[in-house]
Structure 1
Amino acid sequence: MRDFDLTTLRLFVSVCEAGNIARAGEKANIVGSAISKRLAQLEHQVGTPLLVRKRHGVVPTAAGQTLLEHARGMLDSAARIERDMQNYVAGGRGQVRILASVSAMTESLADDVAAFLRRPAHRAIRVDMEERVSPEIVRGVREGLASLGVCWDATDHSGLHARPYRRDTLCVIVPQGHPLAARRKLRFAETLDYEHVSLPVNSAVQLMLQRHAAQLGRTVNHRVIVTNFEAALRVVNAGLAISLVPREVAQGPAEALGLRLVPLAEPWAERRFIVCYRDPPALSPAAQLLVDHLASQAPP
């Protein structure tokens, strides 16, 4: 049997529901003779009469009633296919992979992505996130390992497009009773007399701290290296070292542990984050929607 033509099936359903070929033609803006020709071809295709002509219209035969049920199901499926494809075009479906720094992940990114996915129009979108240090984020986006990267804007992201995201502020965290705990603010040079607990030394912030220390003719003394801020706070709480961490991450946990946060009086203490990606035309509709959402969280 040949494939059924959806237009003909749609007209067949319309005729059955209207009970009249002329009225179905008016609804579809097609002359009745054209509909009659299509219905005759359909009856020839299935090999049995589908409609009984009455004085004031038509009614489906038993075979026509069976075909009517199937036709409605086929048309519903076709409509769902069309809606799903339109959702892909509009970004309502798809998968987006993000590489993000530990700061972005810990501070706000997870909450911002969750808010994005809670929107009814985005429920069919899947977002996968992986934590990386900033240089690896940029390299991963360049190499196509992820659609989007979220990192500090001081990272060399040449060759990529970027939009502003959120900001944070670095501060110095010390135990109560530490010589620096009574200070209202600190210069970075003053922290170099003490041992630090740091994130991986190849992370963007640690590379920056090493660079600024070198400009002062000093080095950062890394006593402990950890992979997350919670571990850094525990090391500080144990009195083993001090740390430079984002205030937005550390404030609540530090206060719970009785630690002291001292503002860092440096022009580079405020960090700006970006969402970076390859060519905009290469972004999927879902990825573009997510970029727009994250960029909307940037401060004015």
Structure 2
Amino acid sequence: MKLDPVSLRLFVSVIEEGTIAAAAKREHIAAAAVSKRLSELEDLLDAPLLNRTNKGITATDAGLSLLFMARSALNNLNEIVVQMRDYSHGRRGSVQVLANISAVTQFMPALIKSFMDQYPLINIVLQEQKSLGITKAVAENRADVGIFTRLPHGADIEVFPFRTDRLVLLVPNEHLLADRQGVRFADTLDHDFVALRSGTHLNFQLIKAANDLGRSLKIRMEVSSYDALCLMVQAGVGIGIMPQGSADIYKMHGARVVALEEDWANRELTLCVRSREGLSTAARLFVDHLLATPTLCQD
């Protein structure tokens, strides 16, 4: 005989009820079967567990120790069942998310907070990644969900419209362009730029736009984040271009935002998955939340 949960549960019931008959009634099992289980349990553990008298049954010292351990073991087994059911119903799990810097700074904090308020046992692992790497990672199943700036890709993924943002020009307060309400991109190309790092979609987008005009982008410094870009612009290192929503996050006393009067300044952010039908329950709930939750677009 091996130690099993049924024998432990019957043992606990007998101690709590005080008689085999009462325990048998509680567990919906014949009294003789309960008695047999208890005898086998004592033989297995090679210790007297019960004091049997005409007044009922009490636990021996060994039985009291087993009672404590049995309750703990049964509780742990019940917790296993509960947690596994949580996974199957999507109430528990982990979702791996890759998002570009624009999505991370503008949209993801509020969306993740509202989702975790509804599903506190689902863990969201968010990692910032370049747009070009996100589609590849999702296609290779290294992430459940990806959010990137819309661009041509050859990855075998499913894509869905997510949000839009608009690029603006950020200039130091004393800059020549600071008094303008709006500016064409061509008017910025005589000035030094603080740009997001090479390999990001925004960096590629600005270089392409300059090349389309037969010009080059005068990059004085590359940075890895929008907050660094803002700090460098405020310090007078150069001018920069970033999403309006991200610029609004940072309180900047030494710089101001100027409208960028270009059609390509309006951008679409896209959500991608390898297969929506193939997502785990937790990941599917997260994707549904992202696509259903309204968020104001940046104009």
By how many angstroms is 1:235 displaced? 4.3
Q: How many residues align?
A: 295
What secondary structure sits across from 2:151 in the alignment? coil
Do the aligned partners of 2:167 and 2:243 also contact (CA within 8 Å) in 1?
yes
Find the counterpart in structure 2 of residue 156 from structure 1: 153
Unmatched segments (≥5 aa) in structure 1: none
Q: Does 1:221 align with 2:217?
A: yes
Distance 1:209 1:13, change over 3 A: same
Structure 1 pair 163–12 and aligned structure 2 pair: CA distance change class (3 A) = farther
- The Cα shift of 1:63 comes to 4.2
Counting only pairs closer than 5 Å after superposition, residues 83-232 of structure 1 correspond to structure 2 as 83-90=82-89, 95-110=94-109, 112-113=111-112, 121-122=120-121, 125=123, 127=125, 129=127, 131-154=128-151, 156=153, 158-192=155-189, 194-215=191-212, 217-227=213-223, 228-232=225-229
Could you tell me the TM-score, scaled by structure 1's length? 0.77
Q: Identity rate of aligned residues, in percent?
A: 34
2:68 is matched with which residue?
69
- 1:21 offset after TM fit, Å? 2.7
User: Contact 2:159–2:271 at 8 Å: present in 1 too?
Assistant: yes
What is the deviation of 1:19? 1.8
TM superposition shift of 1:6: 0.5
In 1, distance between residues paired with 2:89 and 2:215? Answer: 51
Separation (CA, whole Å) in 2 of partners of 1:41 and 1:57? 19
> How far apart, in 1, do the equivalents of 2:241 and 2:67 lie?
71
1:91-145 deviation per Cα after TM superposition (whole angstroms, max 9, x unaligned): 56555443332223333435654665677833x736252x332102222333344
Q: 1:7 to 1:162 in 2, by over 3 A?
A: farther
Of the three residues 273, 277, 287, the one matched with 1:277 is 273
Measure, in 2, the Cα distance between the counterparts of 1:76 and 1:240: 62
Distance in 2 (alpha carbons) for counterparts of 1:230 and 1:4: 60
- SS of 2:177's partner is coil
| Residue segments in structure 2 that go unaligned for 5+ positions in a row | none
The answer to whether the 8 Å contact 1:116/1:290 transfers is: yes
Aligned-CA RMSD value? 3.5
Range 231-240 or range 134-143, more displaced = 231-240
Which amino acid in 2 is paired with 1:82? V
Q: Note the C-alpha offset of 1:204.
A: 1.4
Secondary structure of the residue aligned to 2:197 is: coil
Q: 1:197 to 1:53 in 2, by over 3 A?
A: closer
- Aligned partner of 2:258 in structure 1 is 262
Match of 2:146, SS? strand
CA contact (8 A) 1:165 1:298 kept: no
Give the 3 Å change call, closer, same or farther, for CA 137–83 of structure 1 in structure 2: same
CA deviations on 1:57-109 (whole Å, 9 max, x unpaired) are 44344544443233223212322333344444455655544333222333343
Distance 1:224 1:293 in 2: 40
Contact kept in structure 2, 1:169 and 1:271, CA below 8 Å: yes
CA-CA distance at 1:288 after TM superposition: 4.3
State the partner residue of 1:40.
39
Distance 1:225 1:291, change over 3 A: farther
Q: Structure 2 CA distance, aligned partners of 1:65 and 1:233?
A: 67
